Chain A
Amino acid sequence: MLLTMAVELDPDRVAVTSGDEHLTYGDLLERSLAVGELLRNDGAEHVGLLDLNTSAFPVALFGAAAAGLPLAPLNYRLADDKLTEAIGRLSPIALFRGEGVASVVDVGDRDVVRATGDLLTATRAASADAEPELVDSESPAVLLFTSGTTGTPKIAVLRHRHLFSYVMSTVEFGHAGSEEAIMVSVPNYHIAGISSVLGSIFGGRRIVQLPSFTPESWVATAARERVTHAMVVPTMLGRILDVLEATGETLPALRHLSYGGGRMPIEVVERAVRMLPHVDFVNAYGLTETSSTVTILGPDDHRDAMASEDPAVRRRLGSVGRPVPSIELEIRGVDGTVVASGEIGEVYVRGEQVSGEYTSHSVVDADGWYATRDQGHQDHDGFLYLRGRADDVIVRGGENISPEEVEDVLTAHPRVRAAAVVGVPDVDWGERVEAVVVIDGELDDLESELVARVRAELRSTRVPVAFHVRDELPFNETGKLLRRAVRAELSEKAGVA
């Protein structure tokens, strides 16, 4: 439906660019309807996509919707056995497989595997309805596997009404100028890769698909396609800035850069704002289960913070901003009541775009509130600061310790490039605080300096009792620090796990 409207605005406008290939809104609608027909004939209950970011993705997304089936974009970086398992959970499935994907997967008798090329060459029967019926807004539109760092990944369900509400509340129809182009470099199995495509189609902004991220290809594509908008995850931005510095490229067409999907170091934000003074920066916080963005730190918030002498305002560069108008947000303590501003608790959200639902169960309460499992606090002006996952909180002798708070103190030291702080099972304390650090040079005297800093800025109970030096920390591909992996390793070593 979003697409049908965009077509009515101007069917000849280019909707998607991927390499040398361009699809107009008219092409996209025609192919989506044709794919809808194809899928209805396959008799599948789910549509799978295993592909880099190409023009096949929007066709699969709208084609699945035309058939009234949910699309499950799959992570092609998973091991073959994990992928086969994931596909098995979606059987009977019609799976579209891209040329750029090397995975070898097994499917069952009732499944159909097709090349993504079929998405782009499908044609409709001459007798087809000119105007197909709208899919029921209650039906699932997208199924996304959560990263599932422990146990079996859950499958999050986003219904048409969730995505529709999200797009309605964040994007104005057809407002994009004809020169605007957004580069999508976040993989299509990530919520931002999906919401970006939906919002851009509705807004009328041309989508430039970057098949697979490298900082060099990102910069080259941004320059060639005169990209005006882009969204990146934290690990991408620093590497992009390195390339800009090395090549002298200034990306004059770029106006708007949003980032999210994980914790962004303030130093990187400051460097980006300095190197790209003509660009508006937006920090967004959202989850798969909330159909993407729930809070935004906008361009003016960035400028105010950069220009301010007031430490409270300056600090906002490390905030994820304030809730979007269609979202209600509360910080609740362990007893479930709303805490005072400045106090850390769990982030709860409510709104039409919030799904909070998995194929197995729903975690939204009777009043519509969804517990994000993220810890955070809001300042007096409502700016939200995230403090890590609720599951990562260290409980030492009854005291709750936020690992990020300690990590921030450690990484503020010029010789510490990265730090992960975790709770390791301890006979006396329940958990004790340990740190894994990536540093320049040797640990030696640095350890006592770090201990002194944590003690001075926080308190002695938060001082790590052991420091472990590593060459790198485990991150997932969207830049999230995998503290659980660190904790598992240290716990095993401690032998108390």
Chain B
Amino acid sequence: MKVGQRLRSAVCATNVVVVRAADVTLSCGGTPVVEKLDGEPSGDLAAGHDGGTQLGKRYTHAASGLEVMCVAGGAGALSVDGEVLELKAAKSLPASD
């Protein structure tokens, strides 16, 4: 996993880009995300992993420091080791350039 890398959900339309990398397995809808997906996403969302993702929002995993940004929203929720990631509050800096 590295900064700027795009990861896709195997079970829903969610796509994320890594903002802060960590040595963990990221899942979406309860199934590990993939770099390349052959065909359309398929399969069911696991119970409790159906909260969805929103375009442009960031999600973090406090324990590992992982941070990703959603570049395409979907029905599945992001998780690491079964723990659903938190939505990071928006905090814009004053524009400097």
Name A residues whose Cβ lies closer than 8 Å to a Cβ of B. Answer: 1, 4-5, 8-9, 134, 137-138, 160-161, 164-165, 168-175, 182, 186, 191-192, 195-196, 199, 203, 229, 231, 256, 258, 260, 280, 282, 284, 286, 292-293, 296, 298-299, 324-325, 352
Contacts and interface: CB of A to CB of B under 8 A. Distances in A.
A354 B20 CA distance: 14
Interface string B23-65: 0000000000000000000000000000000011100000000
B2 A182 contact: no
Interface centre among B91, B92, B94, B96 (most CB of A within 10 A): B96
A296 B94 contact: yes
Interface string B65-96: 00001011000000000000000001111111
Nearest to B96: A284
24 contacts: A1-B17, A1-B71, A137-B5, A138-B2, A160-B4, A161-B2, A161-B3, A170-B92, A170-B93, A170-B96, A171-B93, A174-B55, A174-B56, A192-B97, A203-B95, A229-B95, A231-B95, A231-B96, A258-B97, A260-B97, A282-B96, A284-B96, A292-B97, A352-B3
A11 to B, nearest CB: 13
Contact of B94 (A1, A4, A9, A280): A280
A325 B89 CA distance: 14
Contacts of B20: 352
Contacts of B72: 8
B22 interface: no
B91 A172 contact: yes
B94 A282 contact: yes
Contacts of A280: 94
Contacts of B4: 137, 160-161, 164-165
Given A138-B2, A170-B93, A352-B20, 19 more contacts: A1-B71, A4-B71, A5-B71, A8-B72, A9-B56, A137-B2, A165-B19, A170-B96, A172-B91, A173-B55, A199-B97, A231-B95, A231-B96, A260-B97, A280-B94, A284-B96, A293-B97, A296-B96, A352-B3
Chain B interface main SS type: loop
B41 to A, nearest CB: 14
- Complex A-B, nearest 10 residue pairs according to Cβ-Cβ distance, in ascending order: A137-B4, A173-B56, A284-B96, A172-B92, A192-B97, A293-B96, A161-B4, A196-B97, A172-B90, A282-B94
Contact of B90 (A170, A175, A292, A296): A175
A174 B69 CA distance: 13
B55 A258 contact: no
Contact of B97 (A4, A9, A284, A299): A284
B6 A134 contact: yes
A1 B4 CA distance: 10
Contacts of A182: 95
B97 to A, nearest CB: 4
B24 to A, nearest CB: 18
Nearest to A8: B55
A352 B65 CA distance: 14
Contact of B93 (A173, A231, A296): A296
Nearest to A196: B97
Given A1-B6, A9-B55, A9-B56, A168 B96 contact: no
A456 to B, nearest CB: 37
A293 B95 CA distance: 10
A196 B5 CA distance: 23
Contacts of B91: 172
Given A8-B55, A8-B72, A168-B19, A199 B95 contact: yes
Contacts of B17: 1, 164
Nearest to B90: A172
A195 B96 CA distance: 9
Given A1-B17, A8-B72, A164 B3 contact: yes
A454 to B, nearest CB: 34
B97 A5 contact: no
A83 B63 CA distance: 51
A487 to B, nearest CB: 30
A168 B59 CA distance: 13
